[in-house]
Amino acid sequence: MHPRLAGVLAETDRIRSELLHIIEPLTAAEWDRRDHEDRWSVGEVVAHLQLVEDGSVRAMFRAFRNAREAGLGQETSTESMVNSLDRYQLERVVQRIEAPPMVQPKPIERADLMAKLQFSRDGLHKWAAEADGFALADTGWPHPAVGPLNLYQWVLFLGQHEARHIGQIRTILTA
């Protein structure tokens, strides 16, 4: 895999491993715990993460395929993209952000959610296999809160978004 894509994918997978390390051993009571009655439970946070990843990966496939059909070139740079979102400090954002309706969690059984979480990550890897070697910094679309992101940054955003919510999960579990 091209080093630019491999770098952002590895970082995002590292963060997913951290998430799984935290949530897999949780009891049902911990899974359903909230730190305030008007906030999401741990399970709802995980459901939100799955919805964000699933929707983003579908959009990434569309954006990549459209760009490829329009003549997207091969990647020529080897400069790392891993720090390209650092200026936003996404994993450190502490203010509450209202999620759009399409990524607000809906009731789902824990086992089904965990399967969907794996399925969405598998989708990200399938996208990466298809997009590998292309100049992914040359195409993308804007994030509603962050602004324009190229496709490398979308991969990285998924990881940093999870990192932000890992902090939220830790807060819920220690409340």
Nearest to 8 by CA among 71, 78, 102, 83: 83
Q: Which whole number is the average pLDDT over 125-133?
A: 98
Say what the pLDDT of residue 100 is. 78
- The DSSP letter of residue 2 is -
Confidence of residue 95 (pLDDT cuts 50, 70, 90): low
Q: Which whole number is the average pLDDT over 167-174?
A: 94
Q: Specify the higher pLDDT residue, 7 or 143.
A: 7
The yes-or-no verdict on residue 94 having pLDDT over 70 is no
Confidence of residue 174 (pLDDT cuts 50, 70, 90): very high
Q: What is the pTM of this model?
A: 0.93
Say what the pLDDT of residue 90 is. 62
Helix residue ranges, H only, 24-174: 28-31, 42-69, 110-131, 151-174
What token pair was written down for 1?
């895999």
| CA distance linking residue 114 with residue 137, whole number of Å | 31
Domain range annotation of the chain: 3-174
| Residue % of the chain over a pLDDT of 90 | 82
| CA distance linking residue 38 with residue 135, whole number of Å | 43
Render 79-121 in DSSP notation, one character per residue.
---TTTTGGG-GGG--S--PPPGGGS-----HHHHHHHHHHHH
Q: Which whole number is the average pLDDT over 88-110?
A: 77
How does pLDDT run across 12-65, given as a tens digit for each residue? 999 999 999 999 999 999 999 999 988 999 999 999 999 999 999 999 999 999
Nearest to 61 by CA among 146, 155, 142, 145: 155
The CATH homologous superfamily for domain 3-174 is dinb family like domain (1.20.120.450)
Given the DSSP bridges, would you call strands 140-143 and 147-150 parallel, antiparallel or unpaired?
Answer: antiparallel
The yes-or-no verdict on residue 73 having pLDDT over 60 is yes
Confidence of residue 93 (pLDDT cuts 50, 70, 90): low
